[in-house]
Amino acid sequence: MSKLKNKVAIITGASKGIGASIAAYFAAEGAKVVVNYASSKEGAEKVVKAITDNGGTAIAVQGDVSKESDVAKLFEETKKAFGTLDILVNNAGIYQYAPIEEFSAASFHEQFNINVLGSLLAIQASLKSFGKKGGNIINISSGASNTPLPTGSVYSATKAALDAITISLSKEFSGRNIRINSILPGIVETEGSRSAGFTGSDAETKFVATTPLGRTGQPEDIAKVAVFIASDDAGWITGEKISVSGGIYGL
């Protein structure tokens, strides 16, 4: 398969979970992949090894997307390794669910700095790498942007902001051959959901019971849609919010 043959893609926050799955699926479709990570070097190197062992091409690059200098380094390393950039996937993100009584300015800034500012910085840097040929940006948002859950006001706000950025920039990029879309995952089983105790909990059971397709999502469910959006098959799709949630967040 070669939907993304010779394309160069940066996936932020790709050392585990959805990001790691997107990196693997992109590489399997022929893309040269930059696996960005903030702190989990071991995880990122594991993702790269799995890709290269399977005949793909990938490198790991450390960088905290909320820091301009780290974002600059990420794109410099990408250019040094592959010379160009075709696809940016803004996947790096964090979530902190807590009652409003426990709200803190520190938590607010941490979530907005990574989920929103980090995506903006990466998008800004990508434009120089895309050049006149254009490019493709995918923002990994959340179904929580449309259907916020209790105790998730700040997290939901970050994802709603990311979707607004997607729509605004799709219009700003008019005539520049740059597509930008948001993917809104539903409940997905990841290392984070397992370590937080959500996987296997009563809360998960309740969510699955109200999900039309009757199961928790897997990272590959999101990765397969990301491949489509990144490919020429989606060449007339931009500025869209695409829900991938088993129907629980259907609009």
List residues with catalytic annotation. 155
Q: What are the angstrom distances between the C-alpha of 158 and each of 63, 78, 121, 142?
A: 20, 27, 15, 10
Residue 202 exposure: Cα atoms within 13 Å on the Cβ side: 0
Residue 48 exposure: Cα atoms within 13 Å on the Cβ side: 17
Question: Residue 211 in contact with residue 187, Cβ under 8 Å?
Answer: yes
Question: Residue 78 in contact with residue 136, Cβ under 8 Å?
Answer: no
- Identify residue 22 by its one-letter amino acid code: I
State the residue for tokens 């005539």: 175
**Residue 153: which of 162, 166, 144 has the closest Cα?**
144
CA distance 79 to 74: 9
